[in-house]
């Protein structure tokens, strides 16, 4: 980890040095075409710098945001209606998958299922954990309008936003089961109540005071053990079954990261993981749901999202912002955007984050 951070910091230093020279060159350039080309180059380097800083943040656990940059300056020209809620960090259109979730949720509610299980297979570039975060916020907004505090979810170390945990694992099924029992007991303070995991399953926790409790987990494809994982997840689904009326509704979300999951040309190993998850859900259809794979997002949806947050609904201003945003992408992603008019959610959410932060700095 230390070597990784050192390499990232070195790359960050080099990028900042290059940007410094570009910034110095910009006011000295008089030719309009050269000036426009230099702005694009600055935007591309800023995007690369943002990516490095995101990796540093992820590796070190920091969560920082710096003002400045071409995109920031253009986004700051929007007339934002209000301080945007956290939902606007993650809610660029995913209507098909959102509808899948709510259809499943309503089915669970009709069956009075106290425990609900959702599985989402997706490429990291499509931000599947952010989709899980979105549904936590939407659940709070749609189901708990009068009592938004009646949902318990784990927050990140800074006290903001939804945190995902790695699924507790051991080298075999028994050790994995014990790892989860320990996680659950610590998460909900069973040891402080002189209770145990097994006692919770028998009696529930009537003092929790929540209507909904979420447990959100990440699973990397590289950690998927076919000899273990399906049995372990089946055990989880089967263990959480019946509950007393005073126990909150629990919903579990398992985000399984598979590179290029939305593409057809997958390796045998990745295909096998997808098949095993499908088989697991099909074996427990009344309690579990597999959400539609996340695809890149149509550019029109980002434009519509921007129109929502800009009180002037200025089409020309948003068009200019989108053009700059596309020009600042790495070449391969820029090509995808211009040819297919599709964007990876990773890139969309960087722009959303900038606009969210701007909305919280305005009077």
Convert the pLDDT of each residue in 303-359 to its tens digit.
999 999 998 888 888 999 999 899 888 888 888 899 999 999 999 999 999 999 999
Compute the distance between CA of residue 29 and CA of residue 208 in angstroms, rounded to an integer. Answer: 64
Compute the distance between CA of residue 2 and CA of residue 59 in angstroms, rounded to an integer. Answer: 9
In a domain, 301, yes or no: no
Based on the domain organization, do 64 and 162 belong to the same domain?
Answer: no
Question: How far, in Å, are 35, 105, 180, 215, 274 from residue 289 at the CA level?
Answer: 52, 9, 21, 15, 13
Based on the domain organization, do 150 and 284 belong to the same domain?
Answer: yes
Q: CA Rg, the chain, in Å?
A: 23
What's the rounded mean pLDDT across residues 283-312?
A: 92
What's the rounded mean pLDDT across residues 70-93?
A: 89
Q: In which band, very low, low, confident or very high, does the pLDDT at 217 lie, cut at 50, 70 and 90?
A: very high
Per-residue confidence (pLDDT) for residue 1, from 0 to 100: 43
DSSP 161: S
Q: Which long-range contacts (CB under 8 A, 24 or more apart) does 145-148 make?
A: 147/211
Based on the domain organization, do 166 and 285 belong to the same domain?
Answer: yes
Per-residue confidence (pLDDT) for residue 61, from 0 to 100: 37
Per-residue confidence (pLDDT) for residue 55, from 0 to 100: 73
Q: What is the mean pLDDT of the chain?
A: 86
Based on the domain organization, do 45 and 191 belong to the same domain?
Answer: no
Cα 269 from chain centre: 24
What's the rounded mean pLDDT across residues 230-247?
A: 85
- Cβ burial of 122 (10 Å; 0-12, 13-18, 19+) is buried
What's the rounded mean pLDDT across residues 270-289?
A: 94
In a domain, 206, yes or no: yes
Rounded to 5 degrees, what are φ and ψ at 123? Answer: -75, 140
Convert the pLDDT of each residue in 82-96 to its tens digit.
899 999 999 998 999
Based on the domain organization, do 67 and 121 belong to the same domain?
Answer: no
Cα angle vertex 209, ends 205, 214, to 5°? 80
Tell me how far apart the terminal alpha carbons of the chain are, to the nearest angstrom: 40
Based on the domain organization, do 119 and 188 belong to the same domain?
Answer: yes
Give me the percent of the chain exceeding a pLDDT of 90.
47
Convert the pLDDT of each residue in 34-55 to its tens digit.
877 888 888 888 888 888 877 7
Convert the pLDDT of each residue in 196-210 to its tens digit.
787 777 766 555 678
- Total domain count for the chain? 2
**251: which 2 tokens?**
């919903």
In a domain, 106, yes or no: no
Using the structure block, give the residue that is written with the tokens 């040819």: 339
What's the rounded mean pLDDT across residues 66-82?
A: 79
Q: Domain residues for 176?
A: 115-291
Based on the domain organization, do 202 and 266 belong to the same domain?
Answer: yes
Q: How many Cβ atoms are within 10 Å of 149's Cβ, its own excluded?
A: 10
Residue 56 pLDDT exceeds 90: no
Based on the domain organization, do 164 and 20 belong to the same domain?
Answer: no
Based on the domain organization, do 285 and 317 belong to the same domain?
Answer: no
- Spatial CA neighbour of 357 closest among 140, 113, 71, 37: 71
In a domain, 109, yes or no: no
**Range with the largest mean pLDDT of 24-28, 127-131, 248-252:** 127-131
- Cβ burial of 129 (10 Å; 0-12, 13-18, 19+) is buried
Per-residue confidence (pLDDT) for residue 60, from 0 to 100: 46
In a domain, 104, yes or no: no
Q: Assign 39 to helix, strand or coil.
A: helix
Based on the domain organization, do 275 and 175 belong to the same domain?
Answer: yes
135 contacts 291 by C-beta, under 8 angstroms: no
Question: How far, in Å, are 40, 49, 214 from residue 26 at the CA level?
Answer: 11, 18, 50
Which of the pair, 250 or 23, is modelled with greater confidence? 250
Residue 101 pLDDT exceeds 90: yes
Based on the domain organization, do 230 and 174 belong to the same domain?
Answer: yes
Q: How many Cβ atoms are within 10 Å of 209's Cβ, its own excluded?
A: 11
232 contacts 114 by C-beta, under 8 angstroms: no
Task: State the DSSP string of 237-284.
Answer: HHHS----TTSPEEEEEEEEE-TTTTSS---HHHHHHHHHHHHHHHHS
Based on the domain organization, do 126 and 242 belong to the same domain?
Answer: yes
Q: Cα-Cα-Cα-Cα dihedral of 42, 45, 46, 50, to 10°?
A: 170
Beta strand pairing call for 297-298 and 342-343: antiparallel
- Cβ burial of 11 (10 Å; 0-12, 13-18, 19+) is middle
């Amino acid at each position: 980890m230390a070597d990784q951070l050192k390499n990232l910091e070195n790359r960050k230093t080099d990028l900042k040095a290059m940007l410094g020279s570009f910034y110095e060159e910009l006011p000295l350039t008089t030719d309009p075409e050269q000036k426009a080309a230099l702005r694009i180059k600055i935007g591309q380097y800023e995007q690369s710098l943002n990516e490095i800083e995101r990796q540093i943040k992820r590796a070190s656990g920091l969560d920082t945001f710096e003002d400045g940059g071409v995109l920031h300056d253009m986004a700051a020209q929007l007339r934002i209606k209000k301080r945007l809620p956290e939902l606007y960090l993650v809610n660029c259109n995913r209507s098909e998958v959102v509808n899948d979730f709510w259809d499943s949720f309503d089915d669970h509610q009709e069956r009075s299922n106290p425990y609900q299980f959702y599985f989402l297979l997706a490429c990291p570039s499509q931000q599947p954990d952010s989709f899980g975060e979105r549904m936590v916020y939407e659940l709070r907004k749609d189901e708990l309008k009068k009592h938004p505090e009646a949902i318990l979810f784990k927050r990140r170390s800074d006290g903001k936003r939804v945190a995902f945990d790695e699924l507790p694992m051991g080298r075999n099924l028994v050790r994995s089961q014990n790892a989860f029992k320990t996680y659950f007991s610590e998460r909900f303070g069973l040891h402080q109540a002189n209770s145990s995991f097994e006692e919770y399953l028998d009696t529930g926790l009537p003092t929790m005071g929540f209507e909904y409790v979420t447990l959100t987990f990440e699973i990397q494809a590289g950690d998927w053990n076919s000899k273990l994982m399906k049995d372990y997840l089946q055990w989880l689904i089967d263990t959480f079954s019946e509950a007393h009326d005073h126990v909150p509704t629990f919903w579990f979300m398992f985000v399984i990261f598979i590179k290029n999951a939305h593409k057809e040309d997958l390796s045998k190993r990745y295909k096998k993981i997808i098949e095993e998850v499908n088989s697991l859900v099909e074996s427990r259809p009344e309690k579990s749901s597999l959400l539609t794979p996340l695809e890149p997002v149509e550019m029109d949806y980002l434009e519509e999202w921007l129109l929502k947050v800009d009180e002037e609904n200025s089409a020309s201003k948003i068009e200019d912002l989108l053009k700059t945003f596309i020009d600042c992408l790495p070449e391969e992603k820029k090509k995808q955007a211009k040819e297919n008019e599709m964007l990876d959610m990773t890139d969309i959410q960087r722009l959303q984050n900038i606009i969210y932060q701007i909305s919280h700095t305005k009077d």
